[in-house]
């Protein structure tokens, strides 16, 4: 087209539109794999809970031992986690969008999708576990509050271990009727409360001092009419039972600590193995996708 005299020069620039680059992460495939992994693990853990209840028994001599049960539980958790994330990783790899890449790059991206399935599945599982635990705790708290309103002070006192030990100390002896060590009109303190406080204060160290034991023997002798020797024997018996109870509590706390450490290590090891399983399964799923692997023979009945 001819330019008219005096007309200014106009530069025409062709506008280029950059093509939209698809995301490297196929979140739909990741979400599908995570949902599959979470569903499988939930079903298998529910089945395992029922199986575990059938293996244990509150009666002595019945059911499997604690060691055997712990081994079975660890193997079951490992198998369920690996199986569920293997299935979820394979689903994500098989359903991921096919992109023209080198074989190595496609395998790496498939594996990363498997790791994303693992991460999302762990978060979903943690959310479900937390919600379930919170619901159980809330239900238990409501039930405990309802039951507490119906309890009497006598029942609470009867179930107090310190009150039980105190009752043992001040159980009337055979010579109570003839005991006149204290005038009938004398004002006495609260011997049971004193004994209970001695036990409570000694719980910090797990030992009752010799002075406290001597004082307890005097209180028992005065309140029950027992001779000093018999009162001392009774105190020694109760103190021994007290030491055994404190030691049993410490042993239980130590076992709980070791079990918590073992459970934490088992959980970490299981999650690491599950991540590897999800990666490998996703690469297998991507390989089957690229090669259009046909599994229709497995679904035919005849």
* Distance, CA of 30 to CA of 161 (rounded, Å): 55
The pLDDT score that the predictor gives to residue 7 is: 57
The pLDDT score that the predictor gives to residue 190 is: 73
The pLDDT score that the predictor gives to residue 57 is: 60
Percent helix, strand, coil in the chain, to 5, is 70, 0, 30
Given phi > 0 = left and psi -120 to 50 = alpha, else beta, which region is 225? left
Arithmetic mean of pLDDT, 240-246: 83
Residue 56 corresponds to which tokens in the numbers above? 């244990």
pTM for this structure? Answer: 0.59
**Segment 177-210, tens digit of pLDDT:** 444 444 444 345 577 777 877 777 777 676 788 8
**Segment 82-141, tens digit of pLDDT:** 999 999 999 999 898 877 778 888 888 899 999 999 999 888 888 877 776 555 556 545
Name, in order, each residue with C-beta under 8 angstroms of 62's C-beta and a sequence gap of 6 or more.
Answer: none
What whole-number percentage of the chain has pLDDT above 70? 65
* Distance, CA of 110 to CA of 159 (rounded, Å): 60
Name the DSSP letter for residue 164: H
293, pLDDT greater than 70:
yes
The pLDDT score that the predictor gives to residue 50 is: 75
* Distance, CA of 141 to CA of 150 (rounded, Å): 15
Domain boundaries, the chain: 156-249
**Segment 16-55, tens digit of pLDDT:** 544 444 567 889 999 999 999 999 988 888 888 777 666 6
Tokens 């995570």 — which residue? Answer: 34
* Distance, CA of 121 to CA of 111 (rounded, Å): 15
Helices (H), the chain: 27-55, 66-95, 103-149, 153-158, 161-169, 191-202, 210-224, 228-290
Whether 89 and 114 have beta carbons less than 8 Å apart is answered as yes
Lowest-pLDDT choice from 141-145, 203-207, 229-233:
141-145
Query: Residue 25 burial (CB < 10 Å; 0-12/13-18/19+)?
Result: middle
Which long-range contacts (C-beta less than 8 Å, at least 24 apart) are formed by 243-251?
243/206, 243/207, 245/161, 246/203, 246/206, 247/206, 250/206
**Segment 100-113, tens digit of pLDDT:** 778 888 888 899 99
* Distance, CA of 34 to CA of 215 (rounded, Å): 67
What whole-number percentage of the chain has pLDDT above 90? 15
For the chain, give the mean pLDDT.
75
* Distance, CA of 289 to CA of 129 (rounded, Å): 34
* Distance, CA of 252 to CA of 201 (rounded, Å): 21
Q: Mean pLDDT: which of 2-6, 44-48, 148-152, 188-192 is highest?
A: 44-48
């Amino acid at each position: 087209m001819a330019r008219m005299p005096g007309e200014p020069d106009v530069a025409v620039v062709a506008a280029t539109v950059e093509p939209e680059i698809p995301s490297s992460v196929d979140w739909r495939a990741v979400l599908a794999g995570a949902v599959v992994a979470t569903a499988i693990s939930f079903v298998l853990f529910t089945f395992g809970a029922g199986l575990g209840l059938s293996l244990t028994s509150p009666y002595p001599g019945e059911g499997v031992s604690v060691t055997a049960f712990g081994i079975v539980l660890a193997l079951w958790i490992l198998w369920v986690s690996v199986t569920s994330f293997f299935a979820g990783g394979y689903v994500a790899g098989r359903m991921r969008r096919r992109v023209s890449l080198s074989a190595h790059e496609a395998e790496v991206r498939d594996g990363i999708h498997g790791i994303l399935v693992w991460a999302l599945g762990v978060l979903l599982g943690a959310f479900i576990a937390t919600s379930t635990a919170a619901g159980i705790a809330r239900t238990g708290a409501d039930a405990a509050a309802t039951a507490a309103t119906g309890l009497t002070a006598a029942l609470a006192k009867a179930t107090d271990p310190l009150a039980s030990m105190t009752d043992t100390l001040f159980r009337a002896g055979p010579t109570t009727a003839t005991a006149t060590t204290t005038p009938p009109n004398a004002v006495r303190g609260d011997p049971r409360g004193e004994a209970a406080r001695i036990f409570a204060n000694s719980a910090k160290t797990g030992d009752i001092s010799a002075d406290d034991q001597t004082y307890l023997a005097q209180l028992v002798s005065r309140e029950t009419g027992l001779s000093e020797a018999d009162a001392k024997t009774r105190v020694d018996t109760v103190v021994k039972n007290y030491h055994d109870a404190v030691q049993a509590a410490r042993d239980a706390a130590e076992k709980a600590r070791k079990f918590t450490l073992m459970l934490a290590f088992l959980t970490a090891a299981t999650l690491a193995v599950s991540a590897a399983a999800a990666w490998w399964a996703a690469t297998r799923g991507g390989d089957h996708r690229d090669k259009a692997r046909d599994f229709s023979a497995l679904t035919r009945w005849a």
